[in-house]
Amino acid sequence: MAGLGAQRLVRADSLRALDRGRQTTLLGRDGAARVFDEDSSGLVRAALAFLREPRSAQELSAQLSSLAEAPVPEALLTELLAVLMDTGAVVPWRAQEPRTPTPLAGRRVLVAVTGAVASVDAPALVRMLLARGASVRVAMTPSARRFVRPRCFEALTHAAVYKSLWGGAPDAPAPHIALARWAELVLVYPATATTVARIARGDCDELVAACVCATRAPVVVAPSMNDAMATAPAVLRNLEALREDGRWVVHPTLGHEVAEHPSERRGMLGPAPAPQVVIELLEHVLRVSSPPSPRSWEDVWRGTPVEALPWTVATLDEDLVAVLDATARERPGARVLDLGTGAGTVALAAASRGLSVVATDVSSTALDLASRAPFAERVTWLQDDVRQSQLRGAFDLVVDRGCLHLLCPAERDAWRRLVWRLTAPAGLVAAKVHAETETTHGTFPFSRQDLEGFLGGGFVCESVGEGTLPGPDERAPRAYLALWRRAR
């Protein structure tokens, strides 16, 4: 016991332990059984009960001695702890410290369950998502409800399960639209051949397929079916259509055909992977689909040639040129704020028109690059993050060219609060974002309807115009330029 010092110990999250009568059995990591009888069994049970909270060996000794109403010999306690730790029943407290938040923490995930037999694993998957800090909603097809009751998911999520395209409040969006807007990630698990076909051809006659078609969030589809169906030409064509549309398609795993009698089942490739595997795949999708952190943006600007970054083009979009020209004409010397300036395309164009400009970005390298361009001396360059901005002041024009669509839905409220705070009375806000069809850029695109009611807070949407933004290839991505005017 002296070797443990003041180290704190705790019972492991999962035990391999059995009680029967006055006997306790612990299975070690090697599968070997350690059996404790009579008083030894009582000692093991008392130790495991006390170590539900982190304790030192000295605290455990005092507790067991109190229960036994006599001092527990140190040699016996040392032997007991050695067995408990060797079997993995008790571990050092440092192994139980909180882990770094996963990519799922705080994210809104829609789990769409369809009628494959693997739907019986969906509750375990939902429980894992919740344990990782995700907010989960569940949609089910009628055939899925043959395998799993909606009440199971409602008990886990404390939220209603969505089962139909209809049934919402008269003044609320249709269920599939509400879910599509709410979700930051959509998982179809498991996906039957029928649901795959519906999604591939855009058939929105059923809730799950309609949610997938309506959402602008990343979609992960985990097919699960008999190998004969999984390899059928029609199914293969539909899966390829999903990939071409930018959906993430999970590879099947090896399983057994449950449609056959248990004595006749054979291994086959076709079922969806186990929930733990799917969770790991979802975390990867969120890592590569979510916008970079401030640190990552700095790495992008430092490690990528400027000419390889499409948004660094020196020529400003014509629709934003019109906004700057109108501002310079109607309010000479107006104060302009450029959020997420990057290489300074907007800020420099505004300064060349005699406007008073403040430009912000999370990357100091980007700001240094922009500050060496013509007219840069007329701009105030500030390192700032729109999600945690320290900026103060009132601006006649606030411009966001390609920054807002980098914020996940959970971060957009911070952007709204910033704009509400910094826009002067009668001031104009101009935000240019990817349109809803642009699903392959790692951004969170908007629809016209999203933008029209987006800002609120005393702002009126003047227009939502269609245009383009620079892209990584010859095709310029579709974009919307939204203009909101603040009330006087």
Q: Please identify which residue in the block is written with the tokens 């979009």.
A: 317
CA torsion 298-302-308-310 (nearest 10°) is: 30
The last residue of a domain, from among 65, 96, 127:
96
341 with 465, same domain: the answer is yes
CB 269 within 8 A of CB 253: yes
* pLDDT for the residue 97: 44
CA dihedral 382, 383, 386, 392 (to 10 degrees): -40
Burial label, 205 (beta-carbon count in 10 A; 0-12, 13-18, 19+): exposed
Residues 169 and 89 occupy one common structural domain: no
Same domain for 153 and 268, yes or no, is: yes
Domain count, the chain: 3
Does residue 245 share a domain with residue 134? yes
Residue 138, domain member (yes or no)? yes
Residues 356, 327: Cα–Cα separation, whole Å? 11
| Residue 103 within a domain | no
Name the token pair of 477.
């991505």
Residue type, 115: G
Look at residue 102 and tell me if it is in a domain: no
pLDDT of residue 259: 66
The answer to whether the beta carbons of residues 363 and 301 sit under 8 Å apart is yes
Task: Give 20's strand partners.
Answer: 23
Question: CB neighbours of 430 closer than 8 A, spacing ≥ 6?
Answer: 320, 323, 397, 398, 399, 400, 481, 482, 483
- Looking at the fold, whether 174 and 268 belong to one and the same domain comes out as yes
Whichever domain contains 308, its CATH number is 3.40.50.150
Tokens of 381: 């360059």
Record the tokens describing residue 334, joined without a space: 């107006």
For residue 157, what are the CA distances in angstroms to 127, 135, 152, 197, 333? 8, 8, 9, 29, 54
Regarding whether 228 and 342 lie in a shared domain, the answer is: no
In the three-class reduction of DSSP (H, G, I as helix; E, B as strand; rest coil), residue 90 is classed as strand
Amino acid at 180: A
- CB half-sphere exposure, 303, CA atoms < 13 A: 6
Q: What is the 3-state secondary structure (H, E, C) of 178-239?
A: HHHHHCCEEEEEEECHHHHHHHHHCCCCCHHHHHHHHCCCCEEEEECCCHHHHCCHHHHHHH
Domain span including residue 28: 2-96
Give the span between the Cα atoms of 464 and 447, in whole angstroms: 10
3-state secondary structure (DSSP) of residue 281: helix
Q: Encoding tokens for residue 261? A: 């009698």
Q: What tens-digit pLDDT sequence spans the chain (488 residues)? A: 555 556 888 898 888 888 988 899 998 878 888 899 888 888 899 999 999 999 988 899 899 889 888 888 888 888 888 889 888 889 887 644 444 457 787 788 999 999 999 999 999 999 999 998 889 999 999 999 999 999 999 999 999 999 988 866 666 668 888 888 889 899 999 999 999 999 999 999 999 999 999 988 899 999 999 888 989 999 999 999 999 988 999 999 877 666 666 766 676 777 899 999 999 999 988 877 766 666 667 877 887 787 777 778 878 999 999 999 999 999 999 999 999 999 999 999 999 999 999 999 999 999 999 999 999 999 999 999 998 999 999 999 999 999 999 887 778 889 999 999 999 999 999 999 999 888 767 678 899 998 998 998 899 999 999 999 987 656 789 999 999 999 98
In the sheet that holds 33-37, the strands lie side by side as: 17-20, 23-27, 33-37
User: 425 and 330, same structural domain?
Assistant: yes
Closest CA to 239 of 279, 195, 206: 195
Alpha-carbon span 235 to 194, nearest angstrom: 9
What's the confidence (pLDDT) of residue 95? 47
List residues bridging with 166 in a β-sheet: none
For residue 411, is it within any domain?
yes
280: amino acid identity, one letter? E
Backbone phi and psi for residue 379, each to the nearest 5 degrees, phi listed first: -115, 140
Task: Give the span between the Cα atoms of 376 and 347, in whole angstroms.
Answer: 8
416 and 460 inside one domain:
yes
Nearest to 286 by CA among 192, 185, 364, 370: 185
Cβ atoms of 387 and 415 closer than 8 Å = yes
| Contact in structure between 218 and 289 (CB atoms under 8 Å) | yes
- The DSSP 8-state label assigned to residue 266 in this structure reads -
Residue 221 and residue 238 share a domain: yes
Nearest Cα to 192, choosing from 162, 147, 137, 229? 229
- Specify whether 206 is located in the same domain as 264: yes
CA distance 259 to 265: 8
- Within 13 A of 282's CA, how many CA atoms are on the CB side? 33
**Where is the domain boundary, 289, 321, 341?**
289
We report the CATH number of the domain holding residue 132 as 3.40.50.1950
Burial grade of 473 (CB within 10 A; 0-12, 13-18, 19 or more): exposed
Domain assignment of residue 101, yes or no: no
Distance, in Å, from the CA atom of 385 to the CA atom of 340, rounded to the nearest integer, reads 8
Do 117 and 92 reside in the same domain of the chain?
no
- Pairing mode of beta strands 478-486, 459-468: antiparallel
